[in-house]
Structure 1
Amino acid sequence: MNHVAHCLLSFPNEGLLIGNFIGDYVKGSTWKNFPRPVQLGIQLHRFIDAHTEHAPAMKSSIQRLRPFAGRFSAPVADIVYDHLLCSLWEQVLDKVEFEHFAQWAYAGLHAQQVWMPERLQQRWPDMMAGQFLHLYQSMEGLAWTLERFAQRLSLPFHWSELLEFLAENRAVLEEEFHQFFPDLSRQVAQWRQEHDVA
């Protein structure tokens, strides 16, 4: 999963939020250098990634995207699943409105920039200006997000073919997402209970 899911699965705990958000940038045991609430967020990020990696529905979606994204089909699937989460928001969540969640996440992350690695801090003003969580709500925003991802890694993606595939196969991808996300949410709720994190 990408930014939207990691932030959502931290709600409404701001310590978890920043740790979960920076999780990809924190390598090895360096998570121990952060305050306890941020440490827990980093650990939660790793838990989510491990669960996602082994989820059958996600594996199936990754295989569907492989002809277009090659060895980067897993992170592309993460981005696509964030788009599906946003577009299916009211089906998946009945207690949290997207706008309320997004404004909470923007404010919480902005207030805790001190914990962001330098390269993420450099990107942060543009991310905030572009309301990066909102981008996942539309196909246009999804296309822009994927293009920026490819530019950062100098990837030769087949953009038109990928977007056409997503449009034509949306139903099956949504079905796989529905198999995946409720289970992930339950696993995260259990993890938070075990770690005494509200």
Structure 2
Amino acid sequence: MDSVNFLAHLHLADGDAGDMTGGVAADFVRYPDLHRLTPDVLRGVMLHRHIDGFTDRHPVTLRSISRVARTMGWFGGIVIDIYYDHILARDWLRYSAEPLAAFAARSYRVLEDGHGQLPEDARDFIRKFIDQDRLNRYASRDGIEDTLARVSKVIAKRIPNRAIPLTDAMPRLIECDAELAADFHAFYPELIAFVIQHKSERPV
């Protein structure tokens, strides 16, 4: 999937290059590819999947999805993932002392250094992700609308009989922005705590 919630994954993985690289590559790594990854990147892929599981089951995330379900139906979860990254980007300094631009530049360097070992589609995605400066673009409404349009194209290729333009969600997202922001800021500290706990329990 193209640029769904990678800002959050990178932020939660920060401090570990393998976690950061695996966090972005996870959606492109199929089961047969896992044994080809270095242990640190594999650990990042698994962290990404634990984060997704926690997020998908969380009642606050489900509440956010319900706010757009009438417009988006099954695709509401994808839309909320993207919009949560928008809220994180625009309110970045609530969660980091490092400016977003500096964090993005540092993340791009990590991805540049670590993406060579990944499957080809992951490498291609990371190259475009960096070139298009997706992390900084999350902070603007135009950037999120562009992300929704890009993801719509990917969905249309994969499941053309079910695809809908995700940009149709924009009026509803704008309408309930305050509620979605409140949801995100209630949810994200719990996700941070979950990741800290998970990292403390995994083998060194």
Q: Which moved more, 1:175-184 or 1:151-160?
A: 151-160
The answer to whether the 8 Å contact 1:68/1:157 transfers is: no
Whether 2:167 is the aligned partner of 1:159: answer: yes
Equivalence for 2:82:
79
Shift of 1:65: 1.7
Equivalence for 2:159:
none
Equivalence for 1:186:
193
Whether 2:72 is the aligned partner of 1:69: answer: yes
The alignment covers a number of residue pairs equal to 195
Find runs of 4+ consecutive structure 1 residues off by over 6 angstroms: none
Q: 1:35 to 1:3 in 2, by over 3 A?
A: same
Query: CA offsets per residue over residues 11-54 of structure 1, 9 Å max, x none?
Result: 12111111111111223364233211111101101110110011
What RMSD over aligned residues (CA atoms) do the two structures have, in Å?
1.8
Distance 2:141 2:167 in 1: 12
Distance 1:121 1:30 in 2: 13
Equivalence for 2:53:
50
Q: Which amino acid aligns with 2:147?
A: T
Distance 2:127 2:181 in 1: 32
Equivalence for 1:31:
34
Equivalence for 2:160:
none
1:147 to 134, 146, 149: 149
Distance 1:75 1:133 in 2: 17
* TM-score, structure 2 normalization: 0.88
Q: Which moved more, 1:59-68 or 1:129-138?
A: 59-68
Q: Which moved more, 1:117-126 or 1:8-17?
A: 117-126
What is the aligned-residue identity percentage? Answer: 29
2:117 to 106, 110, 115: 115
The answer to whether the 8 Å contact 2:67/2:176 transfers is: no
Distance 2:35 2:167 in 1: 40
Q: Which amino acid aligns with 1:187?
A: F
The answer to whether the 8 Å contact 2:29/2:122 transfers is: no
Distance 2:42 2:83 in 1: 27
Structure 2 residue runs of 5 or longer lacking an equivalent are 157-162
Distance 2:121 2:107 in 1: 19
3-state SS, counterpart of residue 138 of structure 2: helix
Equivalence for 1:89:
92
Shift of 1:72: 1.5
Distance 1:195 1:152 in 2: 34
Distance 1:41 1:105 in 2: 14
* TM-score, structure 1 normalization: 0.91
